[in-house]
Amino acid sequence: MATPANRTTSLQWLLGTRLFAVVIATVGILILIQAGGCSSPAATSRTSSTGSDQLRLLPNASTSTNGTQKPTSGAPTSLEQVDAQNAATTIDSTSTGSGPIVLFDVAHREIFGPKNTSELGQSAAVARMRSAGVRVVATHTPFTSAMLRGVSGVMISGNMQPLDTNELAALNDFMTGGGVVVVTVHIAPMDQNIARAFGFALSPQVLQATTPQPGGNPLNFACTSIEQHPLTQGISAVKVLGAWGIAAQPPSQILVGTSADTWIDVDGDGKRTTNDMAGKFGMVGLRQIGKGAFIISGDDAVFANVALASKDNVQLFDNIVKAIKPPTQ
């Protein structure tokens, strides 16, 4: 699969200091510890020194600033540019049919929007949903129960602003009634609260491949640990382009995970040492909530335009779209 060349980072203008990431990531992890810990993919070794298990053990998680952050090639370089991009994003369904309605969120400073045609944009995903009969609408306001009536699905892709507690409550009720919420993560601290609310923790830093392909970016790799489920039918390797690991507390579960050839640069020294975390990590998780579902991906590029060149990423996306049904009357 072709990957973006010379992808640059633009995180410092958002994060400011490491402290913000430390606090939010640590809180999310500690809450899961208190609730009984996190589960990793079925094939993950249950030792204290590998993979997802270590998400429980880090007391001072922080976001790396030494060149291993999630890439943001083509991204706006300020919050003002993000706001201007999203304010100009209007997607209203042109269909008057009876297909399911999906709200594509642009109310939380999503860095790559549903009309963005760049490699990391989401325009191909929108086009694919529409070709499947889904009516896609961009929404610019916080989620409420009223706005979710008659809606079947919600896409929150690469939000740079956390959802508040009222929105989380509205989405919980929405899923209980049969709605599907899909969250794809761009900056982990921005999604720690929604992940935690539905039984997940996010890694403190992005994952890297230990042995990338020659000349390849270690942030770009394939996730080959696949659990059997209708959402993973026909999938063998999901491509990611700079991803955060996830861990799940039952009944939440991991559907797609990395191979053992992944690690996190915990000490920030730019090389793999005994201080770092290595092993299999979760990448796509699911929690059934009432009649509906919460789906989370550790990478917001998993359904980006460039990633949908991969047949497995397309299949995963199509499986999710099939799970989104019109609400019963």
Q: Delineate the domains of the chain, giving CATH numbers in brackets.
A: 12-323 (3.40.50.880)
Return the exposure string of 196-230: e unless at least 16 CB atoms fall within 10 Å of the residue's CB, then b: bbbbbbbbbbbbbbeeeeeeebbbbbbbbbbbeee
Q: Output Rg (C-alpha) for the chain, integer angstroms.
A: 18
Distances from the Cα of 245 to the Cα of 73, 186, 200, angstroms: 21, 12, 10
Helix axes 165-176, 188-197, angle to 10 degrees: 50
Q: Which residues of the chain have pLDDT under 50?
A: 1-50, 53-54, 56-72, 329
- The pair of structure tokens assigned to 79 is 């919050």
Which runs of E-coded beta strand occur in 140-198?
Answer: 153-157, 180-184
Is residue 69 a contact partner of residue 9, using CB atoms and an 8 Å limit?
Answer: yes
Sequence-ordered list of residues with C-beta below 8 angstroms from that of 82, at least 6 positions apart, any chain: 76, 109, 110, 111, 160
Supply the pLDDT for residue 91: 59
Supply the pLDDT for residue 111: 81
